[in-house]
């Protein structure tokens, strides 16, 4: 078999100055904005409460699985008051497909009680308040703040952390440190959309196990080019969701999403693990 030409297009062999890294990072963000002009949160929601609940459910599972589960959940418990009064076993049964359903049910009922009793039934728009809710950590709080309150936030999930390291923005594994380092590189106004673009790229092209380097539109800016498949034809077959001609994760994607919507639960679907 012919040896593939694995060569980093970035002059990674020379140490890169901090300024050069920042310039390259900002260029990556601009290019990702062109590749994914429609980047958005991949959880279906229609109000802050739904996004909060969906984000709690998304731990340790795919957004697709959450999106297939929440229509029945929100039909039965549309408000914090309704969910606060849920019979735990009934709520558990609905959210069972998302995994860890007992702990998640406790969080959902607990956070609904807290919203009802401490915040007038409304989702608060401050990080300090959000993280007091059961099951809500910094990541969940940032998702809610960035996507319904317009408060800029960097969401360091598994995709964002992996790509930030591959891009050479940080060497840290700790999400809080990654968030702090990346926050220094980009202006605040970019934080929320940067997060969506990077996660989109991680899910579609720069996968954990087999990144599609040979089909990657930002390979010329990436010091990790070559960690994945570099053959263009083979790499093209690794692309996922709209980039690979497959349905997306949202049952109700935004109008500008160029791919197919996800299919509801119970239909035959290809489960994509990341």
Structure tokens at 183: 């926050």
The one among 66, 91, 105, 222 contacting ligand SF4 by CB under 6 A: 222
Interface mask (CB under 6 A) for ligand SF4, residues 148-167, using x and -? ------------------x-
Residue with smaller CB distance to ligand SF4, 56 or 235: 235
Q: Does 29 bind ligand SF4 (CB under 6 A)?
A: no
Residues from 225 through 244 that contact ligand SF4 (CB under 6 A): 225, 227-228
Active-site annotation holder among 157, 172, 177, 234: 157
Give the pair of three-digit tokens for residue 215: 């089909």
The 3-state DSSP class for residue 186 equals coil
Q: The tokens of 42 are what?
A: 């991949």
206 carries a ligand binding annotation: yes
Contact flag: residue 224 with ligand SF4 (CB under 6 A): yes
**Residue from 133, 156, 185, 206 binding ligand SF4 (CB under 6 A):** 206
Whether 63 sits among the annotated catalytic residues: the reply is: no
Q: Is 181 annotated as a binding residue?
A: no
Q: Which of 13, 73, 23 is nearest to 49 (CA)?
A: 73
- Using alpha carbons, list the distances in angstroms from residue 206 to 13, 111, 158: 22, 34, 12
**String of DSSP letters for 86-146:** --HHHHHHHHGGGS-HHHHHHHHHHHHHHHHHHSTTS--S-HHHHTTSTT--HHHHHHHHH
Annotated binding site for [4Fe-4S] cluster: 206, 213, 216, 222
Name the site residues for ligand SF4 (rule: CB under 6 A). Answer: 166, 205-206, 211-213, 216, 218-219, 222, 224-225, 227-228
């Amino acid at each position: 078999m012919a040896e593939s030409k694995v060569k980093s297009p970035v002059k990674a062999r020379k140490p890169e100055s901090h300024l050069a890294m920042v310039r390259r990072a900002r260029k990556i963000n601009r290019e990702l904005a062109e590749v994914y002009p429609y980047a958005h949160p991949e959880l279906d929601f229609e109000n802050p409460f739904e996004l909060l609940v969906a984000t709690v459910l998304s731990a340790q599972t795919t957004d697709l699985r959450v999106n297939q589960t929440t229509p029945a959940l929100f039909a039965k418990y549309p408000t914090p008051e309704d969910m606060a009064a849920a019979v735990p076993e009934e709520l558990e049964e609905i959210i069972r497909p998302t995994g860890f359903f007992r702990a998640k049910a406790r969080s959902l009922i607990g956070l609904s009680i807290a919203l009802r009793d401490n915040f007038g039934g409304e989702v608060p728009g401050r990080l300090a308040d959000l993280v007091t809710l059961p099951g809500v950590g910094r990541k969940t709080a940032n998702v809610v703040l960035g996507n319904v309150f317009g408060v800029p936030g960097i969401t360091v999930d598994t995709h964002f952390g992996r790509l930030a390291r591959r891009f050479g923005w940080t060497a840290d594994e700790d999400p809080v440190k990654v968030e702090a380092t990346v926050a220094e590189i980009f202006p605040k106004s970019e934080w929320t959309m940067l997060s969506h673009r990077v996660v989109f790229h991680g899910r579609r092209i720069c996968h954990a196990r087999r990144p599609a380097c040979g089909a990657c539109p930002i390979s010329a800016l990436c010091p990790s080019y070559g960690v994945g498949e570099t053959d263009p034809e083979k790499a093209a077959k690794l692309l996922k969701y709209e980039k690979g001609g497959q349905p997306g994760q949202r049952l109700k994607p935004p109008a500008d999403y160029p791919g197919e919507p996800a299919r509801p639960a119970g239909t035959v679907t290809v489960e994509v693990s990341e």
